[in-house]
Structure 1
Amino acid sequence: HVTEHFLTGLTYIRQNFPCLLTAKKHGAMSIDGFQMYLVSPEGAVLDPQLLALHQDMSQPLSHYFICSSHNTYLMDDQLRGQSSQEAYVQALKRGCRCVEVDCWDGPNGEPVVYHGHTFTSKILFRDVITTLAEYAFKVSEFPVILSLENHCSIEQQKVMAQLLDTILGDTLLRAPLDRLVPQELPSPQDLKGKVLLKAKKIGGLEESETLTDEIPDEVSDEDEAEPKSPSAENLSADALRLNDKKSKFSRELSDLVVYCKSVHFHGFEYSHLHSKCYEMSSFSESKARKLAKDTGAEFVRHNSRQLSRVYPSGMRTDSSNYNPQELWNVGCQIVALNFQTAGLEMDLNDGLFSQNGCCGYVLKPDFMRNDDSFDPERPQDRNGYTSLRLSIQVISGQQLPKVNQKEGSIVDPLVRVEIYGVFQDQAKQETSYIDNNGFNPLWNETFHFIVHVPELALVRFVVEDYDKASRNDFMGQFTVPFTCIQPGYRHIHLLSKDGTAIPLSSLFVNIKISELTTEV
């Protein structure tokens, strides 16, 4: 019926306004103009107004999701992959605002960057920082966090500090804004054009310069993620410091750490009582997922005032990724992924950060930024809760890409619509497949979803080539934040596996969003 309505409308336009001049004279749109509108940004599923920078950028850093990379220097796997400055260039061009550098002692007093105790190639720390200086703010003017995993000796730490100082120059943040000890983190707006160093720090911003150069040992994210004592919740800050193993740390490097001081996580109660806003912890994906499942509401409150970084399991030697949605659901800001590995997880990451000018910062929902109790396991308990009905009619496809480029090859396409968000919102439905037609397949199938937390939901459209004997082949996808969807008849311009556009390839859909009525 939808196709018939459109054909009827097009026929009317063609019969009554056969040329552009006649259409203009009658204040109408020509058939060519109408077709151009349908495939223009105004006719796309992603609202073009929300593509531009439009969010409030004056709130504390902890109030934003931040596009983040893990082991940014790697182009491939974690065991034998190539390390390259080009990996930083590619990540920064994709809007990444938190990059990671693993530093080790190198020859001739020069620190090197690589995945320690593996066969990955090595690059100079100097070259990484030079690349960062050149590309950090080409795509986004908002701050870059340099997450430092430091394995270097005191001598080479001093070299690192010198290189950071001389190469980054005024872009490196060296002291609190206005020289004041913060009660809350500054905003992305306040920190435009600045590089923030995330690392261990001797003392805190409130401390005097008379401290000894000893801090709790920091060698890796894995150490940082776990408390040193099973009873850490019940220990005082002084007792925890004494309980930790001590190691020497360069004062010169320490002094460059301002708003991103790495600390061990000792529990939400301890953090609430003792932690400063500029202290942040890193969590392995397994630790973070357990906290999210067991104490989700507490995790949300913790992340309203402090930064949290999550990184992939050390077992992911193939540079695979975990699902970032589970950690965004509890407000974790720095959910680091292996950018070099395409797939669902990077599709979600690209989808979330496609909004707000692709600047790498997305403002969290208001119920995750204040003291209201939000539990992702029980979204209906929050103030102002309203669920929505999402109806998507998958009408047709246009010039879908071939999976096999051999002459005469034909695809059997199907479309799957997937919802990612809080647990209650996870859902997927798919169309039937169309035999031997990738040029203009017609489905006319409608799906209905209930979305409980639209502010956190992502909608992913996936096109696959059906194969009854083996796994379906990926053809294209597009992921959009639920809050950025334009209802109505829309074209979805498909992306390839690595996130680049597939020319002329699209889906045509009709989308309706409405409040859920009591009888549903």
Structure 2
Amino acid sequence: MASLMQGRLPINQDLLMMQKGMLLRKVRSRSWKKQRYFRLQDDGMTVWHARQAGGTAKPTFSISDVERVREGHESELLRSLAEEFPLEQGFTIVFHGRRSNLDLVANSVEEAKIWMQGLQHLVDFVTGMDQQERLDQWLSDWFQRGDRNQDGRMSFHEVQRLLHLMNVEMDQEYAFQLFQTADTSESGTLEGEEFVQFYKALTKRTEVHEVFENFSADGQKLTLLEFVDFLREEQKEGERASDLALELIDRYEPSDSGKLRHVLSMDGFLSYLCSKDGDIFNPTCLPIYQDMTQPLNHYYINSSHNTYLVGDQLCGQSSVEGYIRALKRGCRCVEVDIWDGPSGEPIVYHGHTLTSRIPFKDVVATVAQYAFQTSDYPVILSLENHCSWEQQQVIANHLTEILGEQLLSTTLDGLLPTQLPSPEELRRKILVKGKKLRTLEEDLEEEEEEEELESELEGGQEADSELEAQLESEPQELSPRSKDKKKEKRSKPILCPSLSALVVYLKSVSFHSFAHSKEHYRFYETSSFSESKARSLIKEAGNEFVQHNAWQLSRVYPSGLRTDSSNYNPQELWNAGCQMVAMNVQTAGLEMDIYDGLFRQNGGCGYVLKPDFLRDAQSSFHPERPISPFKAQTLLIQVISGQQLPKEDTSKERSIVDPLVRVEIFGVRPDTARQETSYVENNGFNPYWGQTLSFQVLVPELALLRFVVKDYNWKSRNDFIGQYTVPWTCMQQGYRHIHLLSKDGISLHPASIFVNISIREGLEGDES
């Protein structure tokens, strides 16, 4: 089986050395450092480890789990151990999703290079694999697990055990019949290619054959016209069906003669249905497809709360890794809680708790490095400033010096704006959100005066010192809102002018009421709301909140009582047009599934355009009581079948799953609903449901669909198997596969569910 991958994988010296195995030191903390023997398996795709060479080995990771390999000096943990090990001997394996990084130290710089280069070579190879190669890789992984004595062949007993691991409950006689048919060498065992044939026989998709035969005159192939009919009638591809049919045949038909004759075989048809083009998520919504030239407040902005935390809020670890992960996943607004630190250096941590601390300058350096790796659109630094005047000065210096050209420190053209700039205008810019001593108008006036003074006076230095004295005296005059607050203000640190000046378009102001904001605030002033305050405002004054968010930015943050870093449902805040709905992105679950579902579209750039009725300052929309709009739709989902559904915990050889599918809709309150299929007993491999669920939706522009597969359990709550969330506006109709994701948002390839989606205009039973 290993030869399957090696046939395509260009083997080099590094990989051969890794396959021999090597002692590396695994580092979990400053006190936990242990030698382990790591070895790349012969398939070139999995790394196993043992306590020593020749010891009992167990799987560590699959190459498809790895996102990238980092050098030692990029690891906080390895940097803290620099006195014990040279940083050049260390490296970090970064995994997809929320899995913790793996820090390793080799015995020499040469050995570290072998592993770093070899792993990166394999990661690049896996990233470039097509659908068929990924399936071969998945089979190769299973073959490795089933082949207990690692002799490259599998007996029927090993195959039976493997089927159980793969979630297949099968009649023993039938399984043995398929085994014998596949064993063409008649050796009583299955080798690589024989195992593939056995798997193919096992996974024959009769439900797809039926669809194919409905459109194929001879049951053998789809002619170009037959395929066009299928795309038009079932897949609702409309006018583009003819051109698309040619394109898809060229892309998915495996045989050259089929391509030449413009026909699609059953294999080609299945390949299309399992591809990006056959996915429920419309491929046209995957790149940046929205207008990015509207003001910032017209977009939902992917925002993170307590970004520095990788655990809970009481004694979790603070780490720059939190910023790296948030920025890599498309967050465009990150939070920085800054407190006075030792030696005059500000630190970042969750105040008044036991969470660990990180230097502020390390956070800024990390943001500078990772801000634009995933998206070119602006990053907002939401500063929670608890520092003394002196350390605020240090904050301003670090921001200016480390971020350099990336930092936006004045309006784009030096002129007073009439609305917020667009993501397009702010490309590759980092904006500071925080308190500000004065208005933007006063700042700009002063800049003009400063320029005039400099040109008038020969001794520019005198002007500078005069200005500094003027600025230093200003906080006391400007910061109190009223005289009776003076006492309270005196006990708080006064805002430092140099830090205040770096806040341009995102001045933080307290919220009193919508009427007060309209009367006293400007469009570049932004208010923050706790989740409970925002919720009560939606109930009391939903339409006013919608209008407020059409001209000003709002940030909503999780309740301080969520010490476990849990999340709220972002949907009801989006319904009111709130832009920065901040989440604990480190915490997996339903709420983050919804969040990731919305931001999966538009190139994952972190900005999603709000529907037009949430961008209109005179909007009559009320999120709690939407007047039934003319765009109401009825959705029919036929849940047909499932493919290769994993067990929740593959380490336990317990019973096979009994899967059911739940479809959940999140949107305005009347649209929020859930329905589920019955469960299929003892079959996670190819369960068949064939059930139709029906939903009526008043405001489709705000709706998201979450498909969840659960393992039925009458004793307890059903166990989670996988999920996928898609915005209504990005959903394709027709026969579609939904490729499932784990709790951490990692692909569970090849696990999927096969559905038929149909959307009708209006509500069922509505004559209008």
TM-score, structure 1 as length reference: 0.92
Q: Number of paired residues?
A: 499
Structure 1 residues 7-46: aligned runs within 5 Å? 8-9=213-214, 15=220, 20-21=255-256, 23-46=258-281
> Residue 403 of structure 1 corresponds to which residue in structure 2?
648
Aligned partner letter, 2:543: A
Aligned partner letter, 1:351: G
Aligned partner letter, 1:503: H
Q: Which of the two has greater helix per residue?
A: 2
Distance 1:242 1:364 in 2: 41
Alignment equivalent of 2:719, drawn from 473, 485, 492: 473
Alignment equivalent of 1:276, drawn from 519, 522, 533: 522
Distance 1:78 1:174 in 2: 32
Is 1:132 matched with 2:132?
no
Change (3 A) 1:517 1:124: closer
> Residue 168 of structure 1 corresponds to which residue in structure 2?
403
Conserved? CA contact 1:394–1:509, under 8 Å: yes
Q: Which has the higher contact order (CA 8 A, sep 6+)?
A: 1
> Residue 378 of structure 1 corresponds to which residue in structure 2?
625
Distance 1:302 1:50 in 2: 28
Alignment equivalent of 2:489, drawn from 245, 251, 262: 245
> Residue 389 of structure 2 corresponds to which residue in structure 1?
154
> Residue 211 of structure 2 corresponds to which residue in structure 1?
6
Q: Deviations over 1:336-395 (max 9, x none)?
A: 0001100011001100000000000000001111122111122226xx632100111100
Change (3 A) 1:110 1:23: same
Aligned partner letter, 1:50: C
Conserved? CA contact 1:10–1:31, under 8 Å: no
Alignment equivalent of 2:609, drawn from 363, 367, 377: 363
Partner secondary structure for residue 706 of structure 2: strand
Shift of residue 329, structure 1, vs aligned partner = 0.4
Alignment equivalent of 1:145, drawn from 361, 370, 380: 380
Partner secondary structure for residue 101 of structure 1: strand
Alignment equivalent of 1:264, drawn from 507, 510, 515: 510
> Residue 96 of structure 1 corresponds to which residue in structure 2?
331
Shift of residue 23, structure 1, vs aligned partner = 3.1
Conserved? CA contact 1:414–1:430, under 8 Å: yes
Partner secondary structure for residue 302 of structure 2: strand
Is 1:285 matched with 2:531?
yes
Change (3 A) 1:24 1:305: same
> Residue 34 of structure 2 corresponds to which residue in structure 1?
none
Change (3 A) 1:119 1:451: same
Q: Percent identity?
A: 60
Conserved? CA contact 1:216–1:244, under 8 Å: no
Partner secondary structure for residue 389 of structure 1: strand
Moved >4 Å (runs of 4+): 1-4, 9-14, 16-19, 208-211, 237-244
Q: Deviations over 1:248-307 (max 9, x none)?
A: 111110000000000000100011112101100000000000001111100000000100
Change (3 A) 1:514 1:11: closer
TM-score, structure 2 as length reference: 0.63
Shift of residue 24, structure 1, vs aligned partner = 3.5
Distance 2:367 2:740 in 1: 31
Distance 1:162 1:416 in 2: 52
Is 1:462 matched with 2:667?
no
> Residue 56 of structure 2 corresponds to which residue in structure 1?
none
Is 1:177 matched with 2:421?
no
Conserved? CA contact 2:364–2:403, under 8 Å: yes
Conserved? CA contact 1:464–1:474, under 8 Å: yes
Distance 1:500 1:131 in 2: 24
Shift of residue 407, structure 1, vs aligned partner = 3.2
Distance 2:265 2:398 in 1: 61
> Residue 389 of structure 1 corresponds to which residue in structure 2?
634
Conserved? CA contact 2:381–2:431, under 8 Å: yes
Aligned partner letter, 1:340: Q
User: Any gaps of 5 or more consecutive residues in structure 1?
Assistant: 218-236
Shift of residue 76, structure 1, vs aligned partner = 0.4
Q: Deviations over 1:34-78 (max 9, x none)?
A: 111001100000001111101000000000000000000000000
> Residue 84 of structure 1 corresponds to which residue in structure 2?
319
Partner secondary structure for residue 36 of structure 1: helix
Alignment equivalent of 2:557, drawn from 311, 318, 338: 311
Q: Deviations over 1:134-186 (max 9, x none)?
A: 00000000000000000000000000100000000000000011111222111
Conserved? CA contact 1:289–1:327, under 8 Å: yes
Aligned partner letter, 2:489: K
> Residue 226 of structure 1 corresponds to which residue in structure 2?
none
Change (3 A) 1:279 1:519: same
Is 1:187 matched with 2:432?
no
Distance 1:329 1:493 in 2: 27
When structure 1 is superposed on structure 2, of 369-378 and 339-348 the one drifting more is: 369-378
Shift of residue 401, structure 1, vs aligned partner = 1.1
> Residue 232 of structure 1 corresponds to which residue in structure 2?
none
Partner secondary structure for residue 543 of structure 2: helix
Distance 1:184 1:483 in 2: 28
* CA RMSD, Structure 1 to Structure 2 (Å): 2.1
Distance 2:254 2:534 in 1: 61
Conserved? CA contact 1:379–1:385, under 8 Å: no
Conserved? CA contact 1:412–1:466, under 8 Å: yes
Aligned partner letter, 1:363: L
Aligned partner letter, 1:425: D
